[in-house]
């Protein structure tokens, strides 16, 4: 099972200029290495069989004949392999010479793709030797005793994907051939290149490939020649780059004196989902004036079980590395701007927030504080309400009060115990029975208090619930599920923790910082069940519904790319190896699938709130799902795992 992944490779062989026999042996060696790694498609640099820097030697028949002999050698010695190889070869045709990519598999030449844009400026003189694909009328070429399809717009169909090819300068054109190839079905683009080095050029190249792979919603595998090419006037560093929809998956070592085979797996299923969701892609395909591509069938190449080498972030919602500060500030600013507009539009005089001493309400309060500061309003207009109940612990209550005091907001405390006990008496519920009625009545009592205080003060109730809770339905319907504006609605739990920590470490006073960091370390709990005999939290959310880092991982791949549970399980088991065993992953994945479907009714009437990332559950925007959809198909996909 390959779960939509296609293993690809970018190879940088050692070359000797004009020594086709040596070059063929080097290429053959790298093909065999790649096949041993389970690679399905491998690409080599431009004109790798002769060397790119042969110059006027390209006019010599002896060199061209030697190149064809070298190609025949490779065909003969790799005919037992399933791998598809894409080689750079000069191909003579009716008095012309083509700078071409030759696609081979199992001893057959599948197709020849000539280069379209021949650079003829500065250090490049390709029009001196080669003819552009745009000037070629012939649909076929004879090569190595085989009649082979010839076209710049060939699409190669495998069992796992469809791919297209462009060569070096083609990528640098205002409208690269890969754009038309992608619109006509290519999911992976392979580029054979001879890209010489210059100061700053490499960064520009990476940006160019990232942008093109993103625009095409495609994989992009780039191979540029390296050590062994002539350094008479320029130097070739050997660039091996593999991108997927704008993201770098793998890269080789530049200026290496050794051959390289850089591999990774491109998630074609993910690309297909992105294209289906992005209706602009389909619109462009319908409107393109490009010619119709010719399809070439290949033999089945996706037969072996996948040996996944690429890694996946266990916390896909959480920014990492040098981008952490910038991303956290951006997310926080989106929340602040959303709330500022709503307060301004409604002319609200206050923002009312229930403060529990937990992560979600803390983040909501911090957003309110920053919003009021930016609007030039007094923080006293923020009414923080702590509402101790049967499960409130000293730690969370103290943190709630300490935080509000340090931030200078208005503090109100309203115990819900007496009101809930009276309510239990009114409806005939035994307060010693700690069931769903016992828990939900507390959440609804708190919401009623907040709503009424908002009415008293001409304010808005600011919702604190996060994206992870919404996905699992871990909220009381018409209780903490409801507010007048939910600032955390598209912020997952794993990100909430990092945002609170980021705020604590950026511009907070010592008192606030200390409290915030203790809140980050507090176990996540709704505190609806009485504490234990030592006063500690008894009701730990992650013991009941599962670890949030797992659920956020499930949520990301379920919503962002529409992956089946079996594929999510496959990724999660590898990503969390050593943290959670297979049974644990399966258990909580089943919980996720079951709850995600049967709790949709809560999301169907979700309060307004700002979208901050690529995943949201707003019923007015990103996620429109019937509340009575069956989860059977998804649960059945998990069951046999």
Catalytic residue among 28, 46, 197, 229: 46
Query: Residue 547: which of 502, 587, 489 has the closest Cα?
Result: 587
Active site residue 115: yes
293 is in an annotated binding site: no
CA 155 to chain centre: 26
358 is in an annotated binding site: yes
Contacts of 325 (CB under 8 A, 6+ apart): 502, 506
279 is in an annotated binding site: no
474 is in an annotated binding site: yes
State the Cα–Cα distance between residues 485 and 482, nearest whole angstrom: 9
466 is in an annotated binding site: no
Residue corresponding to tokens 């925007």: 621
- Helix, strand, or coil here: 382? strand
Query: Residue 85: which of 67, 51, 110 has the closest Cα?
Result: 110
Backbone angles phi, psi at 36, to 5 degrees: -65, -25
State the Cα–Cα distance between residues 275 and 277, nearest whole angstrom: 5
Query: Residue 206: which of 252, 274, 164 has the closest Cα?
Result: 252
Catalytic residue among 7, 115, 493, 567: 115
DSSP state of 616: -
Backbone angles phi, psi at 601, to 5 degrees: -60, -30
357 is in an annotated binding site: yes
Q: Which residues pair with 150 in a beta bridge?
A: 112
Contacts of 504 (CB under 8 A, 6+ apart): 512, 513, 516, 517, 520
477 is in an annotated binding site: yes
Active site residue 527: no
453 is in an annotated binding site: no
475 is in an annotated binding site: yes
Backbone angles phi, psi at 215, to 5 degrees: -60, -40
Q: Which residues pair with 162 in a beta bridge?
A: 157
502 is in an annotated binding site: no
Catalytic residue among 168, 225, 328, 593: 168
CB 103 within 8 A of CB 31: no
602 is in an annotated binding site: yes
132 is in an annotated binding site: no
360 is in an annotated binding site: yes
Query: Residue 113: which of 141, 94, 74 has the closest Cα?
Result: 141
Query: Residue 40: which of 71, 81, 75 has the closest Cα?
Result: 81
557 is in an annotated binding site: no
Active site residue 225: no
Query: Which amino acids are annotated as binding site for L-glutamine, given as ranges?
Result: 121, 201
Q: Which residues are annotated as a binding site?
A: 121, 201, 354-361, 440, 464, 469, 474-477, 602
> Which residues sit in the known binding site for deamido-NAD(+)?
440, 469, 474-477, 602
Q: Enumerate the known binding-site residues for ATP.
A: 354-361, 464
- Catalytic residue positions, numbered: 46, 115, 168
């Amino acid at each position: 099972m390959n779960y939509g992944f296609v293993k690809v490779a970018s190879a940088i062989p050692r070359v000797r200029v004009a020594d086709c026999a040596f070059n063929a042996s080097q290429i053959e060696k790298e093909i065999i290495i790649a096949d041993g790694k389970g690679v399905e498609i491998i690409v080599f640099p431009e004109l790798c069989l002769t060397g790119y820097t042969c110059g006027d030697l390209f006019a010599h028949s002896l060199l061209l004949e030697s190149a064809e002999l070298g190609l025949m050698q490779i065909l003969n010695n790799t005919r037992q392999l399933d791998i598809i190889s894409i080689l750079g070869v000069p191909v003579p045709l009716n008095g012309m010479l083509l700078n071409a990519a030759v696609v081979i598999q199992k001893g057959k030449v599948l197709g020849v793709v000539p280069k379209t844009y021949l650079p003829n400026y500065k250090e490049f003189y390709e029009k001196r030797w080669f003819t552009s694909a745009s000037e070629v009328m012939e649909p076929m070429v004879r090569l190595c005793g085989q009649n082979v399809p010839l076209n710049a717009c060939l699409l190669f169909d495998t069992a796992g994907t469809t791919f297209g090819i462009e060569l070096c300068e083609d990528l640098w054109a205002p409208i690269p051939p890969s754009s038309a190839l992608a619109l006509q079905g290519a999911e992976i683009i392979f580029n054979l290149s001879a890209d010489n080095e210059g100061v700053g050029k490499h960064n520009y190249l990476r940006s160019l490939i990232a942008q093109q792979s993103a625009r095409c919603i495609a994989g992009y595998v780039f191979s540029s020649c390296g050590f062994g090419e002539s350094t008479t006037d320029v130097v070739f560093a050997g660039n091996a780059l593999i991108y997927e929809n704008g993201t770098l998956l793998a890269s080789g070592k530049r200026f290496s004196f050794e051959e390289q085979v850089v591999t990774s797996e491109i998630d074609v299923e993910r690309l297909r989902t992105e294209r289906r969701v992005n209706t602009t892609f389909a619109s462009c395909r319908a409107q393109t004036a490009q010619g119709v591509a010719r399809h070439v069938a290949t033999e089945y190449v996706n037969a072996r079980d996948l040996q996944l080498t690429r890694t996946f972030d266990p916390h896909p919602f959480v920014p990492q590395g040098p981008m952490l500060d910038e991303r956290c500030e951006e997310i926080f600013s989106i929340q602040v701007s959303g709330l500022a507009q709503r307060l301004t539009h409604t002319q609200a005089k206050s923002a009312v927030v229930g403060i529990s001493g937990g992560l979600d309400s803390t983040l909501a309060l911090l957003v309110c504080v920053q919003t009021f500061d930016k609007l030039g309003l007094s923080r006293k207009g923020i009414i923080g309400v702590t509402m101790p109940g049967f499960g409130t612990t000293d730690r969370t209550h103290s943190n709630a009060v300490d935080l509000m005091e340090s931030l200078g907001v208005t503090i109100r405390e309203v115990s819900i115990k007496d009101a809930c006990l009276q309510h239990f008496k009114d409806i005939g519920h035994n307060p010693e029975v700690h069931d769903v009625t016992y828990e939900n009545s507390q959440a609804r009592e708190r919401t009623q208090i907040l709503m009424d205080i908002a009415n008293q003060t001409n304010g808005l109730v600011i919702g604190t619930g996060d994206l992870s809770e919404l996905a699992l339905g871990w909220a009381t319907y018409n209780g903490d599920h409801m507010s007048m504006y939910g600032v955390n609605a598209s912020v997952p739990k794993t990100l909430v923790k990092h945002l609170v920590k980021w705020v604590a470490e950026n511009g907070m006073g010592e008192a606030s910082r200390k409290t915030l960091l203790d809140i980050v370390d507090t176990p996540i709990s709704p505190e609806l069940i009485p504490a234990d005999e030592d006063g500690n939290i008894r009701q730990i959310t992650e013991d009941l519904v599962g670890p949030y880092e797992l659920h956020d991982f499930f949520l990301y791949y379920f919503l962002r790319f529409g992956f089946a549970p079996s594929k999510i399980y496959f990724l999660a088991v590898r990503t969390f190896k050593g943290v959670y065993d297979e049974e644990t992953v399966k258990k909580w994945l089943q919980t996720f699938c079951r709850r995600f479907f049967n709790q949709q009714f809560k999301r169907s009437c979700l309060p307004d709130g700002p979208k901050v990332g690529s995943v949201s559950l707003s019923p007015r925007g990103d996620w429109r799902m019937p509340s009575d959809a069956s989860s059977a198909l998804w649960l059945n996909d998990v069951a046999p795992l």
